[in-house]
A and B are shown apart, each in its own frame.
Chain A
Amino acid sequence: MTPPTHDELARVVRDHAGRLAAALIPLVGDFTDAEDLVADAVEAALTHWPADGIPERPDAWLYTVARRRGLDRLRREHRHRRRLALVAWPAEPEPDARLRLIFTCCHPALPRAAQIALTLRVVCGLTTTQIARAFLVPESTVGQRITRAKRKIRDAGIPYRIPGPDELGSRLTEVLAVIYLLFNEGYLPTGDQPAAAHDLTDDAEFLAALLHQLMPAEPEPAGLLALIRLHRARAAARFTGDHEIVRLQQQNRALWDHTAIADAGRLIARAAALRRPGPFQLQAAIVACHAEAASWEDTDWAQIVVLYDILLHLAPSPVTRLHRAVALRYLSGPAAALAETDALAADLEHYHLLHATRAELLRDLGDHDRARLAGARALGLATNPAERRLLRRRLAWS
């Protein structure tokens, strides 16, 4: 037997942990009790599988462990009603029970950090240790967040169900925001990540795909999934061998996964056919314009600016306006783009990319002194090490 790789373990656990939680909750009758059993079973799997190999039926293996732990606990607690329920565990949960799980973990009455930690643990089967490592926070912090969130679910009466049609829209927005935040954390970590850190972009894609599969009539989960896949399809070209960021202009487009890009394009088209545009569909469409262009020079800037206009209409944001200004530079020239960034100075004064963008525009306009000042300002505000190195290189030629 070849020992399973880290990725294989993560994938198998993720495929089954959420299903197990979804199966246990109606039987145990309580979200938090079920969650404890799943966490125990996952810990046991991560202890045994690296040495023994992944069992042929990982789901049955996890069920057996969770059931044994559940019965142990019952013996200590003498709760007869629950004992009866545990004896008759079925092998398979109802097909879409994981959707309820996601909506409960991302309930708006929970703080954002807890929504993320809970979703990773309950739906993706990550351990507290893995979550702590991925976010560079102490394990005790993650443990406390999860404990508090579970207590709040129980005490505040947060229901375990899919929201009704009147609130589905806003609740879905919340879930999508959690998944996208998770993706961004993995895509451009805010600190120096240890090499063996869990790949959060993998979890984010898994969650978006699951949401899309369980809610096929909703276009925004499809948009988010396409967006994540388009970013990941270009991951191989984003960094040099020694971890330096390669900007889009300079990326070797032959390294992009063009099959994945075409698939994402079809996903966007199918979502668009539902005729309910949303922020994630539009962001995906913008990224698709870049991904489908044969070269930087062939990019359809007019189309991109139009998409940004619609996006800004649906979801006004100064950061989106900054992105639009960058696209506008290639459509209408650096002076028009610089004027746009002037209007954003108050809102984005402390955002390093505003100053980095202004540095480039000023340089293009021949104003090298102000370009250097803006570049220095950007460098002073950036925190990500790879981004700081990139800004230093850009400063050198401004």
Chain B
Amino acid sequence: MKYVLMFADTEQFAAGLAAMDEPERERAYARVQQWFGQNADKITHHVHLLPADAATTVRLDGAEPLITDGPYVEGKEIVSGFAEIDVADLDEALRLAKSWPACPIVEIRPVAG
């Protein structure tokens, strides 16, 4: 079954990352690389997004498309990346998500069809 893992940052996590010194940050990135390496056989595709201040949102539910700066929800939790995985079931997806070494929130969503 295919799922998408949606990784979400919190302000606290972003602040923690910003406060790290260079070697610490290197180690944090290395842990993420290691996670991708260990699960390479299950990950079909993944993207890392630039921060939310680079986002632009278009709303199409009005008379005219409305273009605004920023992500579509003004919240404390911001999606920072996606990974599509192909695993047997939700328990296996949960096992992957639970071992994720970086941002504190992971949403697991089955891929339709």
Which of these, A157, A163, A167, contacts B1 with CB under 8 Å?
Answer: A157
B91 contacts chain A at the CB level, 8 A cutoff: yes
Indicate whether B81 reaches chain A with its CB closer than 8 angstroms. no
Closest residue of A by beta carbon distance from B91: A159
Within B6-43, the residues touching A (CB, 8 Å) are none
Assembly CA distance A159 to B94 (angstroms): 11
| Contact between chains at B90 and A163 (CB < 8 Å) | no
Interface-central residue, B3, B90, B108, by most chain A CB under 10 Å: B90
Contact, CB under 8 Å: A163 / B110: no
Flag A139-180 by CB within 8 Å of B: 1 or 0 each. 000000000000000011111010100110000000000000
Q: Which of B59-113 contact A (CB under 8 A)?
A: 88-91, 93-95, 108, 110
Q: Verify if A109 is at the interface (C-beta below 8 Å from B).
A: yes
CB-nearest residue of chain A relative to B2?
A157
Shortest C-beta distance, A188 to chain B (Å), equals 34
Contact (Cβ within 8 A) B110 A156: yes
- In the complex, A2→B19 CA distance in Å? 77
Interchain nearest-CB distance for A339 vs B (Å)? 36
Using A155-B110, A157-B1, A157-B110 as known contacts, say yes or no to A167 and B90 having CB atoms under 8 A apart: no
Cα-based distance from A167 to B91 in the complex (angstroms): 9
Docked CA distance A159–B91 (Å)? 7
| Other-chain residue from B3, B88, B91, B93 in contact with A163 (beta carbon distance below 8 A) | B91
- In this complex, what residue of B is CB-closest to A171? B91
CB distance from B45 to the nearest CB of A (A): 18
Question: Contacts of B110 on A, CB cut-off 8 Å?
Answer: 155-157
* Chain B residues near A109 (CB-CB < 8 A): 90, 94
Shortest C-beta distance, A165 to chain B (Å), equals: 13
With a cutoff of 8 Å between Cβ atoms, the chain A residues found around residue B1 in the complex are 157
Would you give the shortest CB distance from B44 to chain A, in whole angstroms?
16
Closest to A170 in B: B98
What A residues does B95 contact at CB under 8 A? 166-167
Q: How far is the CA of A109 from the CA of B110 in the complex (A)?
A: 13
Shortest Cβ distance from residue A300 to the other chain B in the assembled complex, whole angstroms = 42
Q: Which of B3, B89, B108 contacts A159 (CB 8 A)?
A: B89
A149 to chain B, nearest CB (A): 13
Contacts of B88 in A (CB 8 A): 157, 159
Q: 26 A-B residue contacts at CB 8 Å? A: A107-B90, A109-B90, A109-B94, A155-B110, A156-B90, A156-B108, A156-B110, A157-B1, A157-B3, A157-B88, A157-B89, A157-B90, A157-B93, A157-B110, A158-B89, A158-B90, A158-B91, A159-B88, A159-B89, A159-B90, A159-B91, A161-B91, A163-B91, A166-B95, A167-B91, A167-B95
User: In the complex, given contacts A155-B110, A157-B3, what are 17 additional A-B residue pairs having Cβ atoms less than 8 angstroms apart?
Assistant: A107-B90, A109-B90, A109-B94, A156-B110, A157-B1, A157-B88, A157-B89, A157-B90, A157-B110, A158-B89, A158-B90, A158-B91, A159-B90, A161-B91, A163-B91, A166-B95, A167-B91
| Chain A interface (Cβ < 8 Å from any Cβ of B) | 107, 109, 155-159, 161, 163, 166-167
